[in-house]
Structure formats: C-alpha cells, structure tokens
Amino acid sequence: MTKERYPFTPDAAKNALLARSGTALLIGMCLDQQVRTEKAMSGPYELQERIGHLDARKIANMPLARLQAVFRQPPALHRFPGMMAKRVRALCAIVAREYGGDGARVWTRAKDATEVYERLRALPGFGDGKAKAGVHILALYGKHKLAGWRRYAVPDALPWEFRDGKKIDR
C-alpha cells in the first residue's frame, strides 16, 4: 500500500486510485474546475470503470468522439463533458509522450518544486493556480515535499477533505 493519502472523495476506493496512480491524480486535478472537488476527483475512477483502464497511451489514442461519448454517459463525468474529454485526452498524450505513460513521473523525476510547478503548468487544464495547488497537494497529501514546495502553498486553493466519508472544514 502506498503512503500517499488523497482524501478528496467520500469513497475509499476512489481515493486509493488517486494515491496509486499518478495519471489518475492528474486527471482528477485536470477535471477540478467548475465542478465540486469530489466530483472531479471521482472522475478518474469512473473513467476507469467505463473504459477498463487509465492507460495514458490508450486514452490519448482513443477517437475523440468515443472518449466524449464516455464522458457524456450518464451520469456525465463533468459539467462540460465534451471539452473535458478533449482536455483529458491531450493531458494523456503528454503523459504518454513525455513521461513514459506514468503521470507520477511529472513529480517523481523532478529535482525541486519549481520543476514540478513548471511541468504541471505545461499540462492542458493547468493554469497558474492549479499548478501551485498541485505542488501543494503533492507535498501535503502525497508526501512529495520537494525543495521549495512552500513557495507554492496556497491553502485556500486546496480541495475539500473527507474523513470517514464526511466532508470536513479546515
């Protein structure tokens, strides 16, 4: 079992996937806009249930119309399923091409937090705020406290946290 703990949904299996798969965590962070965090962070699990995997190479090579149909299948994976399917496909293409299909390599092969920030910032769906939050999330929940991570700490940008299936306030 991994030491990471991402308590962003009320479902232990969904949180375990985020901890186990860097690609799942990146997809969840990508989806985390204009929907509640628990919906976004549940997205990778639901996507895996629908297509049978979270293989970045396979997702990147899926016909866009097919992936969009998967995202639109009720209940939709996001408030904007077509746009987010396109974004997740582009994200997976970068993970496949630049990180050997392993999303965790975005941070595990970085020398410091600035490098992780820059790598996250370059991903589809990751603006400045989300890239900063990503560095902060990796440090606090993923136990990846790379040199300089506090520079990117933005507590107000962190997702909701769940304990025993219930949302808690910080």
Compute mean pLDDT per 10 residues along the chain, 170 residues long, and list them: 74 95 97 93 98 98 98 97 98 98 96 97 95 92 89 72 62
Give which of 146, 31, 160, 159 is closest to 83, Cα–Cα: 31
> Pseudo-torsion of CA 124, 105, 136, 25, nearest 10°?
60
67 and 88 housed in the same domain: yes
124 and 94 housed in the same domain: no
Domain interval for residue 51: 11-101
In this predicted structure, what is the pLDDT of residue 138? Answer: 93
- What CATH number is given to the structural domain containing 41? 1.10.340
Question: Does a structural domain hold residue 164?
Answer: no
Question: Does a structural domain hold residue 120?
Answer: yes
16 and 74 housed in the same domain: yes
CA end-to-end span of the chain = 26
97 and 21 housed in the same domain: yes
74 and 18 housed in the same domain: yes
